[in-house]
Structure 1
Amino acid sequence: MREFKTILPFLKDNRLRYVFGILMLILVDAASLYQPQIVRRFADLASTGVLTEKLLIELVAWIAGLGIFMAVGRYFWRVEIFGNGRRLEYWLRDKLFKKYLQLDQTFFNRNSTGDLMAHATNDVMMVAQSMGGGVMIMVDSLFMTAFSVIMMVTTIGVVNAVVALVSLPLLAVTIAKLMGPIQTRSRALQNAFSDLTTETQENLSGIRVIKACAIEDNRAASFGGVNDDYGKKCIQWTKVDSLFDPSVTLISGLSFVVFILYGALQIHRGMLSIGSFVATIEYLNMMVWPLIAMGLVVSNFQRGISSMARLNEIFRVRPTVQEVKNPADPQKSEGHIVFRHVSFRYDEDLPWVLRDINFELQPGHSLAVVGRTGVGKSTILHLLLRRYDVTEGEILVDGTDIRQMSFEALYRTFGVVAQESFLFSRTIGGNIAFGGEEENTDEVHDAARFAQVHDDIIAMKQGYETVVGERGVTLSGGQKQRVSIARAYYKKAPVLVLDDALSAVDTETESHLLAGLRRHRQGLLMISQRVSTVQNADDIIVLEDGKITQRGTHEALVQEDGFYQELYHRQLLESQVNTAEADEQGQTAAALRGEEA
């Protein structure tokens, strides 16, 4: 139960709701326990021949009154106890999602999306059920069992009650034996559900790739294996959980048999009245549910404990990148960036990704980073945005080490266009204004015009109100990139960061975008492998093997032997070849049209 310490703040805030709900539950149970006494009185009066019409009306009125009271009370305890379970579900899921938002890139690299979704759905639901329905079952079973025993003792005496309850110790032993296997198999079931969620999420996210590669059968077989494992875990858990009802029924049936034989003998001897006998049978019958409920309590709380343990593993994670206690939080940033002797590697046992990186981006200026794939270009942006902390050296923004800045202040400095354009399932206008306090239509349109995507948007039937599919699937690659650029521009941050953000646009659109970027009066940091993208930057640095090997303007670097010159000539040759091929295709098409004429 120590796993439930995490939800103590919630329990404290909602303790009055729990108290009121439990009180109403106890009152309803007490009313139901009084009903056998009415039946006992009726049986005794009827057997002795003294049951009058007045007494009959009185007994019926008592039963009707108790029924009405139980109906009203049952409504209130359901609202409070079950309602608290739903409130806990909201509270816990909200806490978990906020925890996700606090964790850094390292955590998400190590955990699959499907597993994290399983935590937010199935695990949260199991904990909420244990603290909603589980609390109700626990209180109900304990109270009904305890007070049924008390009522039996007061009705038929201690000796007779002991005979009636002779099988209870056997039930306690049975429950104790089943607790361990249930918790073990419950944890295995939750892990299998996470695997199933991960498999489903990955296949649905990659459905276009699956169909393009025609590997439906392969993925169906893979899913079938995971689904089969989950099914087996369900059966294993069910086999243990299903032992409760038969065990309780068998043990309670033993109590009935013993007391019926013993009670008949006592009635025959004149030591037990028929009414008391009937009342005791009623109490034994009422105890069947609490006895079954004890099994449900064990099952419910064991699953809740297993799920809470899985959630606590997330709550205990501490991000490797953390905000200092009293961070600097400047309200205005100029966008002055300095990398000073920055070196980085992902782990002590892994090779260096960056070594002794030094550069400076003045406010309002532009800087480009070029290099082969895998040399660490994007890592520079990850470090600048504190997705990871530098291993050595420091990064300064407006003279302040970013490790001393608040995350909010740091992120206000940059408008970022990531290498992979990610759009949310909302309108195009909503995607552009995403993160803003309030969507400004004029500024959204200005941002779209800047990104050269305004004409594409208004050509759509619903314009800016067009809802894009998941991850922007209804848009082309170039449109998604341009919407992402518009989103970054809309932010009006001091520095615009483009991580290979023009790779999916055509050359004409690229030239218009670059012309707009040249008019962009704020800082610009670009990462690209296309010379045409970076050639107008104020400063260009070339990365090779994690080190800066060249630095200068485009004009200077094309005259200098090295990677940049090779890249320039190779892309110039590719451009000339593409132009020649286009001209040849155009001439061929013209000739064909002439022959047809």
Structure 2
Amino acid sequence: MDFAEKHNKANGFTKSKYIRGYFKKYSLNYILGIIALLIVDIAQTRVPIIVGEVIDGIEQQSIELSAIRSAIILLFTIAGIMYAGRMVWRYFIYGTGRSIERDIRNDMFAHLEKMSAKYYQKHSPGEVMAYMTNDLEAVRLALAHGILTLFDVIALGTITLFNMVTEIDPLLTLAAVVPLMLIAVTVRFAGKEMFSRFAKRQEAFATLSDFVQENLSGIKVIKSFVQEDKFIDAFKKENRNNYEKNIKLMKLQSIMHPFMQLISGLALAVTIGYGGYLTITAKISLGEFTAFIAYLGMLVWPMIAIGITINIFSRGAASLSRIEDILNEPVEIKDNENTSVVDRIEGHIKFDSLNYKYPDTDNYVLQNISFEVRKGQTLGIIGRTGSGKTTLTNLLLRIFDPDKGSIYIDGTDILNIPLNLLRKSIGYVPQDNFLFSETIANNIDFGLRESNIDKIRASAEQAVVHDNIAEFKDGYNTVVGEKGVSLSGGQKQRISIARALIKEPDILILDDSVSAVDTDTEERILRYLKELRSDKTNIIIAHRISTIQDSDLIIVLDEGKITESGTHEELLKNKGLYHSIYEKQLLEKMLNEQE
């Protein structure tokens, strides 16, 4: 029997250091499962011999009734052993496959949580979800059903051939096995094509998954622009591509499986012809002929299983390669060997000649940025769209890493501050105000996870959203839906502010976070911030000058550069961009009041 291709596929799968680690971890489970499998295979290969001996005894009228009863009892015993053995190997082999699937999914999620924003610019959520579902399922099948069929093919095939040669007739065995070898030859050449087609099918599924995820997330935009028909057509195209890749794989499978059955039928025809001749000429007995046909039936499964095993390991290897691409992706934003021992952050921030350009680009989005904010001060940042305001905060949070020696907190380079401490010490309210499909209370309590309703309510009051929440039927237990779909823009902004305030962070960053609320609400929020956070550092990014005019320091960004800095009064005197923005907004306010 030629197991070369089967072994190559298995070895190609198990040579992965990552998977070998799991084989080592669950080695006892696999050993117990394989032992149970061997016991089942040994037991079932005794059945044809027992049946053949009974048939010979009946034909020759040399068997007694007690011997038949003993044979029946022995067959029942073997059936019981096989039943118990199959339960054991299912539990240990299939159960271990599920355990490894769980562990790999945990590893993938933990690693994805560490990935930087750069990674998610290249890999969409839908693509990643396909890896964690379809691809992981293929790996689990290889680690469970693939392992099972691998050892079953070897054990059952070897034992069956041994019995056919030693117990019955070597020449008859050779005549019957030669046609079956065509199965092994066929699957040897079909394996690579199977691997390629399965990989393309997985890629098509990932693309389809990404398309669905993105379009459902943007369903409001699609509806508001009346683009449903366009996206339905686009979905049909992606779905058609996924369908075609599946059909190409199924075509190869539909050719292989009937071919294997054809060869099995040919082997049976040879057995009946040559075996019948040997029986008639009394070279083998009728019982031995019957046992041989039973053995041939057992041998067909290992031959067919060679193809199944190659199929499973081909799929598993293709999917494992995609999964390991994720797991091998280096973590870009992390602590380094120079990380300082810092217990807490006070909030003294200094930018020193910061220059930054995004990865894979040549243009600097921030140039020669230098300013200083002391603990207890409020920094206001204003500028045109695309001037680099959000990038500035992303660098402070180490969403992206700045150059060494360009940003300091309390005199320590932020690259040397423990990343966990840095982010815990900063309360960040981003522009998009992302909320989870949770209750309002859990969204506000996201940074603490203390479930302290008094703290939750207090932070909601500081963010001037408590009264709105109280009007909901379920109050703080209201589930907001994905991305806060059931809330208004202003409510989402204020809940996001409450989520940041409940942490009582040493540094608070509001990135255009009151743009969707009215001016009266904005003034109340800013007043609370001034009263409650007078001894802590605040950074407020805004488009409205009214939001930042009371800041201790205001910087004006334009095309990635600080063009002006100072207090509100100082900047008005400069008659620069800040003054221009102020005059424009003042005029807009007057016009609105006249309406």
Is the contact made by 1:4 and 1:305 (CA closer than 8 Å) also made in structure 2?
A: no
| Alignment partner, residue 544 of structure 2 | 530
| Alignment partner, residue 558 of structure 2 | 544
Q: Does 1:576 align with 2:572?
A: no
Is the contact made by 1:185 and 1:236 (CA closer than 8 Å) also made in structure 2?
A: yes
| Alignment partner, residue 143 of structure 2 | 131
Cα distance in 2 for residues equivalent to 1:153 and 1:115: 53
Is the contact made by 1:342 and 1:392 (CA closer than 8 Å) also made in structure 2?
A: no
| Alignment partner, residue 472 of structure 2 | 460
Is the contact made by 1:267 and 1:273 (CA closer than 8 Å) also made in structure 2?
A: yes
In structure 2, runs of 5+ residues without a counterpart are 1-11
| 1:266-305 correspondence to structure 2 within 5 Å | 266-305=278-317
Deviations 1:134-167 (A, max 9, x none): 1111111221111110111122132221122121
Cα distance in 1 for residues equivalent to 2:134 and 2:338: 37
Kindly state the Cα deviation for residue 348 of structure 1 after the two structures are TM-superposed.
Answer: 6.5
Q: Does 1:140 align with 2:152?
A: yes
Is the contact made by 2:183 and 2:304 (CA closer than 8 Å) also made in structure 1?
A: no
Tell me which amino acid in the other structure corresponds to 2:297: N
Kindly state the Cα deviation for residue 291 of structure 1 after the two structures are TM-superposed.
Answer: 1.8
Cα distance in 2 for residues equivalent to 1:380 and 1:542: 12
Q: Secondary structure at the match of 1:370?
A: strand
Tell me which amino acid in the other structure corresponds to 2:306: M
Kindly state the Cα deviation for residue 550 of structure 1 after the two structures are TM-superposed.
Answer: 0.7
Q: Secondary structure at the match of 1:317?
A: coil
Tell me which amino acid in the other structure corresponds to 2:573: Q
Cα distance in 2 for residues equivalent to 1:552 and 1:114: 46
Cα distance in 2 for residues equivalent to 1:326 and 1:62: 72
Cα distance in 1 for residues equivalent to 2:227 and 2:483: 22
Kindly state the Cα deviation for residue 410 of structure 1 after the two structures are TM-superposed.
Answer: 1.0
Kindly state the Cα deviation for residue 325 of structure 1 after the two structures are TM-superposed.
Answer: 3.0
Cα distance in 2 for residues equivalent to 1:160 and 1:435: 74
| Alignment partner, residue 444 of structure 2 | 432
Aligned Cα root-mean-square deviation (Å): 1.3
Cα distance in 2 for residues equivalent to 1:561 and 1:159: 104
| Alignment partner, residue 208 of structure 1 | 220
| Alignment partner, residue 569 of structure 2 | 555
| 1:1-20 correspondence to structure 2 within 5 Å | 1=12, 4-20=16-32
Q: Secondary structure at the match of 1:243?
A: helix
Tell me which amino acid in the other structure corresponds to 1:268: I
Cα distance in 2 for residues equivalent to 1:393 and 1:356: 13
Deviations 1:23-75 (A, max 9, x none): 10111111111111111111111111123221121111111111111111111
Q: Does 1:158 align with 2:167?
A: no
| Alignment partner, residue 182 of structure 1 | 194
Q: Does 1:408 align with 2:420?
A: yes
Kindly state the Cα deviation for residue 127 of structure 1 after the two structures are TM-superposed.
Answer: 0.5
Cα distance in 2 for residues equivalent to 1:348 and 1:70: 61
Kindly state the Cα deviation for residue 393 of structure 1 after the two structures are TM-superposed.
Answer: 4.7
Is the contact made by 1:345 and 1:391 (CA closer than 8 Å) also made in structure 2?
A: no
| Alignment partner, residue 129 of structure 2 | 117
Deviations 1:239-278 (A, max 9, x none): 1122332122111111111111111111111111000000
In structure 1, runs of 5+ residues without a counterpart are 582-597
Cα distance in 1 for residues equivalent to 2:360 and 2:467: 50
2:434 to 400, 422, 436: 422
Q: Secondary structure at the match of 1:272?
A: coil
Q: Does 1:385 align with 2:367?
A: no
Tell me which amino acid in the other structure corresponds to 1:338: K
Cα distance in 2 for residues equivalent to 1:319 and 1:360: 30
Q: Secondary structure at the match of 1:505?
A: coil
Q: Does 1:372 align with 2:384?
A: yes
Cα distance in 2 for residues equivalent to 1:303 and 1:348: 33
Cα distance in 2 for residues equivalent to 1:127 and 1:8: 13
Tell me which amino acid in the other structure corresponds to 1:532: S
Cα distance in 1 for residues equivalent to 2:448 and 2:360: 39
Is the contact made by 1:96 and 1:315 (CA closer than 8 Å) also made in structure 2?
A: yes
| Alignment partner, residue 115 of structure 2 | 103
Kindly state the Cα deviation for residue 7 of structure 1 after the two structures are TM-superposed.
Answer: 1.7
Q: Secondary structure at the match of 1:21?
A: helix
Cα distance in 1 for residues equivalent to 2:22 and 2:266: 43
| Alignment partner, residue 94 of structure 2 | 82
Is the contact made by 1:340 and 1:395 (CA closer than 8 Å) also made in structure 2?
A: yes
Tell me which amino acid in the other structure corresponds to 2:561: K
Q: Does 1:44 align with 2:56?
A: yes
Q: Does 1:229 align with 2:241?
A: yes
- Counting matched residue pairs gives 581
Cα distance in 1 for residues equivalent to 2:336 and 2:139: 33
Is the contact made by 1:344 and 1:392 (CA closer than 8 Å) also made in structure 2?
A: no
| Alignment partner, residue 478 of structure 1 | 490
| Alignment partner, residue 259 of structure 1 | 271
Q: Does 1:324 align with 2:336?
A: yes
Cα distance in 1 for residues equivalent to 2:223 and 2:449: 40
Kindly state the Cα deviation for residue 561 of structure 1 after the two structures are TM-superposed.
Answer: 0.8
TM-score, normalised relative to structure 1: 0.95
Is the contact made by 2:354 and 2:368 (CA closer than 8 Å) also made in structure 1?
A: yes
| 1:328-343 correspondence to structure 2 within 5 Å | 328-343=340-355
Cα distance in 1 for residues equivalent to 2:309 and 2:561: 62
Tell me which amino acid in the other structure corresponds to 1:81: I
Q: Secondary structure at the match of 1:8?
A: helix
Tell me which amino acid in the other structure corresponds to 1:548: I
Is the contact made by 1:244 and 1:292 (CA closer than 8 Å) also made in structure 2?
A: no
Cα distance in 2 for residues equivalent to 1:329 and 1:92: 33
Cα distance in 2 for residues equivalent to 1:143 and 1:348: 54
| Alignment partner, residue 6 of structure 2 | none
Deviations 1:98-142 (A, max 9, x none): 111111111111111111111111111111111011111111122
Q: Does 1:363 align with 2:375?
A: yes
2:230 to 218, 222, 227: 218
Tell me which amino acid in the other structure corresponds to 1:251: I
Kindly state the Cα deviation for residue 322 of structure 1 after the two structures are TM-superposed.
Answer: 3.3
Is the contact made by 2:130 and 2:209 (CA closer than 8 Å) also made in structure 1?
A: yes
Cα distance in 2 for residues equivalent to 1:524 and 1:329: 24
Q: Percent identity?
A: 38
1:567 to 576, 581, 587: 581
Kindly state the Cα deviation for residue 405 of structure 1 after the two structures are TM-superposed.
Answer: 1.7
Deviations 1:471-504 (A, max 9, x none): 1111111101000000000111101100000111
| Alignment partner, residue 182 of structure 2 | 170
Kindly state the Cα deviation for residue 357 of structure 1 after the two structures are TM-superposed.
Answer: 0.4
Is the contact made by 2:180 and 2:300 (CA closer than 8 Å) also made in structure 1?
A: no
Kindly state the Cα deviation for residue 345 of structure 1 after the two structures are TM-superposed.
Answer: 0.8
Q: Secondary structure at the match of 2:574?
A: coil
